[in-house]
């Protein structure tokens, strides 16, 4: 069953009608039904294209969080061959919010690290809704170090509401774990390509996104704070999230404009959730293009360029 | 490397000391006792009744850290002002203006260099009085400038942290200060320059989760709130009562996140001792990346 978002209501109605007609069509050879179906499909597609061409920032937030969007594990299962999940931070435990391991991407060995939020109640609970604990970030550090050691590139797939704000996380040094992850990204001697596939939630995201190339799916978001929390704090009113989403400039399009990300990956018509296979293929292609570019750069220059890229952020605004 | 060559030239900046009248009182934030401000300031803003360390201004921090008349403030580089044209109930541009007037500061970081018991050091102070010490682009530039000055002078960097976290009004530009400040820390580490963090109340969010937790040595003032998520956010998430002393300096000491919890009165001698112990040990590395 396709899950529709509130703003997709008109499309949902058309598609329900299409679904019913398809049912009728199977048991009759009325030419008129086929013709009507064709027209309805065209109409629905047209509406969908129009809707998605000008999604508001708040609508993008909802699309980015859509349960049927491909999540980190979907990408890994689709384009990492021989994926071998590796577990644990060797210090405390294993965090299921962050999945990671080694595998083959278009034939070459890579380290892949992804934040998985789950797609139904069971898997959401299993992955803690994509909110990682310190051991998750420490596992990620371990895997990035492993990548440097074996000279294989790193792919990170980011999709998180943020780092887990729990007593246990604080007790084990959530802040230190995130800080060290950023440091480890910067110290990594191999290319790092990050794709924001859904929601890039603040510190919990940047811990794995201090990369040579930061790619964002067309309708993904990346924000310093969730629009809901921002609304509560700055508007002192939780109902202003839509307005906050606009003010925060959290869309891929805004962030490219500010030169805070490198590239936008186009999504299939109506968003990645409508055609996960197509979305996965686009992401795969974009990652390979980034790797081709980055793997031609010597390690020392790569690291210096990575630093210069972050140091340059915001500076063009003053020049 | 561009980040090695374009360090910021220090500039002398004058400042005025305000005299507090003799008869101004204040209540202790913790025990409520009435205290004469003049006495309180002589006692480094520590309540003589309950040892509560009250917040301190930037000037106080410098005065308490450096040798008398030994320090010079650094003129900090420019940064984008209100890049998002952010507006909530109020325009960010107006908030900035108000905060400048109220705090008499340009941003949430002030940097100076001078001597501590004769040892040279660069000191960066986060100003909680300026938009709750939040980290935006100007903060990032200031922090990077402080690190570059320390690098150019080959002197240690000491940072006093105090922050409510990210500067929401600068959106992702604020978040990007996390890797940017970590890069500044990395430059110091590669050059073998000591980097000491002094946590003061409160230090939370992206500041804790970036440069603050990467010090060579972590010192915390007593009972300072230090964490990633704020206590209220945690309470609302886990629906549990937070443990006694949770996220306070002593808790972090117990959990291995800080080296020393030092009373404000011990801070200067402690810093000076560490500077002496770590001076002349640094071997500036040739390596740039
Ligand atoms: Zn008191």
The residue with greater pLDDT, B231 or B283, is B231
Given an 8 Å threshold on Cβ–Cβ distance, is A223 in contact with B171?
Answer: yes
Q: How far apart are CA A119 and CA A70, in angstroms?
A: 9
Mean pLDDT of A44-73: 96
- Which residues lie closer than 8 Å to B277 by C-beta, 6 or more apart? none
Q: Exposure of B121 by Cβ count < 10 A (0-12 exposed, 13-18 middle, 19+ buried)?
A: buried
Q: Which residues contact residue B113 at a Cβ distance below 8 angstroms, ignoring those fewer than 6 apart? A: B10, B71, B72, B74, B120, B121, B122, B123, B149, B153, B155
Is residue B105 within 8 A of residue B58, CB to CB? The reply is: yes
Contacts of A92 (CB under 8 A, 6+ apart): A134, A135, A138, A172
Q: Is the pLDDT of residue B5 over 60?
A: no
Share of chain A above pLDDT 90, in %: 90
Distance from CA of B222 to the nearest CA of A (A): 18
Q: Which of A105, A84, A71, A82 shows the shortest CA–CA distance to A287?
A: A105
Please state, in angstroms and rounded to a whole number, the distance separating the CA atoms of residues A37 and B102. 66
Query: Contact at 8 Å (CB) between A87 and A94?
Result: yes
CB–CB of B184/B124 below 8 Å? Answer: no
CB distance B96 to B55 below 8 Å: no
Domains by residue range for chain B, with CATH:
23-54 (no CATH), 56-278 (3.90.226.10)
Percentage of residues in chain B having pLDDT higher than 90: 85
Q: Given the structure tokens 């300026």, which residue do they identify?
A: B130
As beta bridge partners, residue A215 has: A195, A263
Cβ pair A117, A94 in contact under 8 A: no
- CA–CA separation, A272 and B235 (whole Å): 35
What would the 3-class secondary structure string for chain B be?
Answer: CHHHHCCCCCCCCCCCCCCCCCCCEEECCCCCCEEEHHHHHHCCCECCCCCCECCCCHHHHHHHHCCCCCCEECCCCCCCCCCCCCECCCEHHHHHHHHHHHHCCCCCEEEEEEEECCEEEEEEEECCCCHHHCECHHHHHHHHHHHHHHHHHCCCEEEEEEECCECHHHHHHHHCHHHHHHHHHHHHHHCCCCEEEEEEEEECHHHHCCHHHHCCEEEECCCCEECCCCHHHHHHHHCCCCCCCCCEHHHHHHCCCCCEECCHHHHHHHHHHHHHHHCCCCCCCCCCC
Report whether A244 contacts A231 (CB < 8 A). yes
B179·A186 Cβ contact <8 A: yes
Looking at residue B23, its pLDDT comes to 76
List, for residues B37-47, the tens digit of each pLDDT value.
999 999 999 99
What pLDDT score was predicted for residue B6?
A: 38
Evaluate whether A196 touches B259 at the Cβ level (below 8 Å).
no
B231-249, pLDDT tens digit by residue? Answer: 999 998 999 899 999 999 9
Residue-level pLDDT at B51: 95
Beta bridge partners of B36: B25
Residues of chain B with pLDDT > 70, as a percent, come to: 89
Q: What is the pLDDT of residue A273?
A: 97
pLDDT of residue A120: 93
Dihedral sign, Cα of residue A6, residue A203, residue B176, residue A200: negative
CA distance B125 to A310: 23
Most A CBs within 10 A among B182, B197, B248, B255, hence the mutation to make, goes to: B182
Mean pLDDT of A37-47: 93
Task: State pLDDT tens for residues A82-105.
Answer: 999 999 999 999 999 999 999 999
- Distance separating alpha carbons of residues B101 and B107, to the nearest angstrom: 11
Name the closest residue on chain B to residue A240, using Cα atoms: B88
Average pLDDT of span B239-265: 96
Task: Answer yes or no: is B267 a known binding residue.
Answer: no
Alpha carbon distance A216, A198 (integer Å): 8
pTM greater than 0.90 (yes/no):
yes
- Of the candidates A170, A247, A308, the beta carbon closest to that of B87 is on A247
Instruction: State whether residue A55 is helix, strand or coil.
Output: coil
Beta bridge partners of A81: A104
Q: So what's the pLDDT on residue B280?
A: 65
Q: Provide the pLDDT confidence category of residue A238 given band limits of 50, 70 and 90.
A: confident
Instruction: Answer yes or no: do B140 and A314 touch at CB < 8 A.
Output: yes
Question: What confidence tens digit (pLDDT) does each residue in B101-121 have?
Answer: 999 999 999 999 999 999 999
Cβ–Cβ under 8 Å, residues B220 and B181: no
Identify the weakest region by mean pLDDT among A270-274, B24-28, B67-71, B206-210: B24-28
Each residue's pLDDT tens digit, A155-172: 999 999 999 999 999 999
Find the Cα–Cα–Cα–Cα dihedral A247, B85, B138, B59, rounded to 10°: -100
Query: What are the backbone angles phi and psi of residue B202, rounded to the nearest 5°?
Result: -100, 155
Q: Helix, strand, or coil here: A293?
A: helix
First to last CA, chain B: 9
Average pLDDT value for residue range A296-301: 94
Residue pair A62/A104 in contact (Cβ under 8 Å)? The answer is no
Cα of B20 from ligand 1 centre, angstroms: 20
Mean pLDDT value of segment B67-78: 95
Q: Please give the Cα distance from B238 to B242 (Å, whole number).
A: 9
Q: Which two tokens stand for residue B48?
A: 């003589």
What distance, in Å, lies between the first and last C-alpha atoms of chain A? 52
Residue B285 has pLDDT above 90, yes or no: no
Contact assignment for B80 to A313 by CB distance below 8 Å: no
Q: At residue B143, does pLDDT exceed 50?
A: yes
Q: Which tokens belong to B223? A: 């009972």
C-beta atoms surrounding B236 within 10 Å: 11
pLDDT of residue B284: 52
Residue of B168, B179, B195 for testing the chain A interface, max A β-carbons within 10 Å: B179
Q: How many CB atoms lie within 10 A of CB A219?
A: 27
Please answer yes or no on whether B3 and A230 come within 8 Å at the CB atom.
no
Chain A interface mutation, best of B6, B147, B172, B256, highest count of A Cβ atoms under 10 Å:
B172
* A276 and chain B in contact, CB less than 8 A: no
Mean pLDDT of chain A: 95
Check residue B9 and give its pLDDT.
40
Q: Cβ neighbours of residue A172 under 8 Å, at least 6 residues apart?
A: A92, A133, A134, A135, B255
Chain B hits for A182, Cβ within 8 Å: 178-179, 182, 210
Q: How many residues in total does chain B contain?
A: 289
Q: What span, in angstroms and rounded, lies between the C-alpha atoms of A91 and B35?
A: 48
The pLDDT-based confidence of A31 (bands split at 50, 70, 90) is confident
User: How many of the other CB atoms lie within 10 Å of CB of A240?
Assistant: 19
Contact B169, B132 (CB under 8 A): no
Q: Determine the distance from the C-alpha atom of residue B117 to the mean position of all C-alpha atoms in its chain, rounded to a whole number.
A: 20
The phi and psi torsions of B196 (rounded to 5 degrees) equal -115, 130
């Amino acid at each position: 069953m396709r899950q529709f978002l509130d703003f997709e209501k008109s499309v949902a109605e058309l598609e329900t009608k299409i679904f019913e007609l398809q049912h009728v069509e199977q048991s009759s050879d009325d030419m008129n039904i086929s013709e009507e179906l064709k027209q309805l499909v065209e109409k629905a597609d047209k509406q969908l294209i129009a809707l998605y061409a000008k999604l508001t920032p708040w609508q993008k937030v909802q699309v980015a969080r859509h349960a049927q969007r491909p999540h980190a594990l979907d990408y890994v299962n689709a384009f990492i061959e021989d994926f071998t999940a590796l577990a644990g931070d060797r210090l405390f435990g294993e965090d299921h919010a962050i999945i990671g391991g080694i595998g083959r991407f278009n034939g070459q060995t890579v380290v892949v690290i992804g934040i998985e939020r789950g797609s139904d109640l069971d898997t959401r609970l299993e992955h803690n809704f994509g909110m990682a604990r310190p051991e998750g970030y420490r596992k990620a550090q371990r895997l990035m170090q492993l990548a440097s050691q074996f000279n294989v590139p790193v792919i990170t797939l980011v999709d998180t509401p943020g780092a887990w704000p729990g007593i246990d996380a604080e007790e084990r040094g959530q802040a230190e774990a995130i800080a060290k992850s950023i440091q480890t990204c910067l110290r990594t001697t191999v290319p790092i390509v990050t794709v924001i596939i859904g929601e890039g939630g603040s510190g919990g995201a940047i811990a794995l996104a201090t990369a040579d190339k930061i790619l964002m799916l067309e309708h993904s978001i990346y924000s310093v704070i969730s629009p809901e929390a921002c609304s509560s704090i700055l508007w002192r009113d939780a109902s202003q999230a839509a307005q906050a989403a606009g003010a925060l400039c959290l869309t891929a399009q805004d962030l490219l404009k500010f030169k805070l990300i490198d590239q936008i990956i186009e999504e299939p018509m109506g968003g990645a959730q409508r055609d996960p296979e197509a979305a996965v293929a686009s992401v795969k292609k974009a990652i390979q293009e980034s790797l081709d570019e980055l793997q031609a750069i010597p390690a020392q220059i790569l690291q210096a360029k990575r630093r210069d890229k972050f140091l340059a952020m915001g500076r063009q605004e003053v020049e | 490397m561009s980040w090695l060559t374009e360090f910021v030239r220090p500039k002398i900046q004058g400042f005025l000391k305000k005299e507090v009248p003799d008869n101004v009182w204040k209540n202790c934030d913790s025990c409520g006792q009435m205290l004469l401000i003049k006495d309180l300031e002589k006692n480094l803003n520590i309540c003589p009744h309950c040892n509560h360390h009250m917040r301190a201004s930037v000037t106080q921090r410098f005065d308490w850290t450096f040798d008398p008349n030994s320090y010079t403030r650094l003129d900090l580089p420019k940064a984008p002002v209100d890049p998002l044209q952010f507006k909530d109930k109020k325009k960010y541009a107006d908030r900035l203006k108000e905060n400048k007037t109220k705090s008499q500061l340009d941003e949430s970081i002030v940097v100076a260099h001078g001597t501590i018991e004769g040892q040279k050091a660069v000191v960066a102070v986060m100003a909680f009085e300026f938009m709750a010490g939040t980290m935006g682009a100007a903060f990032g530039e200031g922090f990077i400038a402080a690190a570059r000055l320390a690098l150019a002078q080959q002197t240690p960097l000491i940072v006093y942290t105090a922050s409510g976290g990210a500067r929401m009004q600068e959106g992702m530009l604020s978040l990007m200060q996390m890797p940017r400040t970590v890069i500044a820390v990395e430059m110091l580490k590669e050059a073998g320059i000591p980097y000491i963090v002094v946590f003061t109340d409160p230090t939370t969010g992206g500041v804790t989760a970036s440069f603050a937790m990467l010090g060579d040595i972590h010192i915390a003032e007593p009972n300072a709130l230090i964490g990633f998520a704020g206590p209220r956010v945690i309470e609302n998430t886990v629906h549990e009562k937070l443990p006694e002393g949770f996220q306070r300096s002593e808790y972090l000491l117990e959990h291995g996140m800080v080296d020393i919890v030092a009373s404000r009165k011990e801070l200067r001698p402690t810093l000076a001792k560490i500077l002496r112990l770590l001076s002349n040990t640094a071997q500036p590395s040739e390596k740039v990346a």
